Amino acid sequence: MSKVILTGDRPTGRLHVGHYVGSLKRRVELQNSGEYDKIFIMIADAQALTDNADNPEKVRQNIIEVALDYLSAGLDPEKTTILIQSQIPELTEMTQYFMNLVTVSRLQRNPTVKSEINMRKFETSIPVGFFTYPISQASDILAFKATTVPAGEDQEPMIEQTREIVRKFNSVYGETLIEPEILLPESEAARRLPGTDGKAKMSKSLGNCIYLADSEEDVRAKIMSMYTDPDHIKVSDPGKIEGNTVFTYLDAFSKTEQFERYLPEYANLDELKEHYQKGGLGDVKVKKFLNNVLQEELEPIRARRHEYEKDIAGVYDILKKGSEEARQVAANTLHDIKEAMKINYFDDAELIAKHAKKYGN
Ligand code: TRP
């Protein structure tokens, strides 16, 4: 069986280092591993519109930002198909048929939908399109016969919903669709990178994000004002590692060899943590190290971004070509789906002949 990746993001803002370490970096590694036959990365604009119906301009402006973030992170359009969801009408058609296989109560039990409804205070005034987006997301995955969906933990309920649709579809209409597996981030730190203020998650509205497109100076300033241990006041005070954002970021980003380069008095992160916990290590020193580590990661990304920024029409062209290629694949799957459901009347010579016979032709 061929191995196919599909994953994506809603274009509601630029991507930050949480997206990078939780997913983007892995996608690039998977792309370069050569282990996958096809890789599709979707800019999920139609999904973004399910809760931004009154603000399509936000979605429209952010498609290019997300595309630039993808390309600058190292997604290579020669190896990876980057597509815009709304440009694949076959996805909508598929969703229509999958909707018949999912109950309202099942959607109400989806933890992601549940928590997003609470967060956005939609309560009973949820747009139907938002309520049903797990089904639309199932189409995103199934249209490409994806075997693997690299994504964060928050997407697990979506993948489970997708798998249920596959089982239901295959049992009703015959083996047609493939059950995908989620591929979660490897390290705990990468799974849930907190905001610079130590809050649970990076979010634009909290102003606690470090963006991939941030300048060197912005990154430095954000690191220098990061949340650490509020009880670590004097350098000599013992400090806490748990909930200390600077150390969480070091867990996610630092490599042992970087100690030799930037902090040779420590052999590795464990030694640095130990000293911090004992007392005698100041926040500024740790933050400066984190700055070196993060700048090393972000510098090549920034450089690639500047190159792509010089040819925006070219980037739109990459998206157009990717969407066209993706559309072909989705059309083939839709064809299989309609054939399985036997709603491909005009291709069904047997059906036509049978009815002709019934009427004595
Ligand atoms: N729901 C994902 C997010 O909010 C975006 C997305 C849309 C997606 N379609 C997808 C992710 C298909 C994985 C597979 O980030």
Q: Write the pLDDT tens digit of every residue in 225-283.
A: 999 999 999 999 999 999 999 999 999 999 999 999 999 999 999 999 999 999 999 99
| Helix (H) or strand (E) run with residue 250 in it | helix 245-253
Centre of ligand 1 to C-alpha 253, Å, is: 24
Which residue, by CA, sits nearest to atom 15 of ligand 1? Answer: 9
Ligand 1 in reach of 44 Cβ (< 6 A): yes
| SS3 label, residue 81 | strand
Integer Cα distance of 63 and 71 in angstroms: 12
Ligand 1 in reach of 140 Cβ (< 6 A): yes
Q: List the alpha helices (DSSP H) in 6-127.
A: 17-19, 25-33, 45-49, 56-73, 89-98, 104-108, 111-119
> Looking at the predicted structure, is the pLDDT value of residue 123 above 70?
no
| Mean pLDDT for the stretch of residues 113-123 | 76
Ligand 1 in reach of 180 Cβ (< 6 A): no
Among 19, 23, 42, the mutation site with the greatest number of ligand 1 atoms within 8 A of its Cβ is 42
Ligand 1 in reach of 12 Cβ (< 6 A): no
- Which range among 100-114, 159-173, 338-352 shows the weakest confidence by mean pLDDT? 100-114
For residue 22, CA distances in Å to 3, 289, 359 come to: 21, 21, 62
Among 19, 52, 130, 158, the mutation site with the greatest number of ligand 1 atoms within 8 A of its Cβ is 158
- What average pLDDT is seen over the chain? 95
Distance of CA 8 to the CA centre of its chain: 5
Ligand 1 in reach of 149 Cβ (< 6 A): yes
> Looking at the predicted structure, is the pLDDT value of residue 317 above 90?
yes
Integer Cα distance of 138 and 42 in angstroms: 13
Among 26, 155, 161, the mutation site with the greatest number of ligand 1 atoms within 8 A of its Cβ is 155
The strand pair at 38-43 and 181-183 is best described as unpaired
Residue recorded with tokens 């060197």: 216
Where are the extended beta strands (E) located within the chain? 4-9, 38-43, 81-84, 148-150, 181-183
| Helix (H) or strand (E) run with residue 295 in it | helix 283-309
Which residue, by CA, sits nearest to atom 2 of ligand 1? Answer: 9
Centre of ligand 1 to C-alpha 254, Å, is: 28
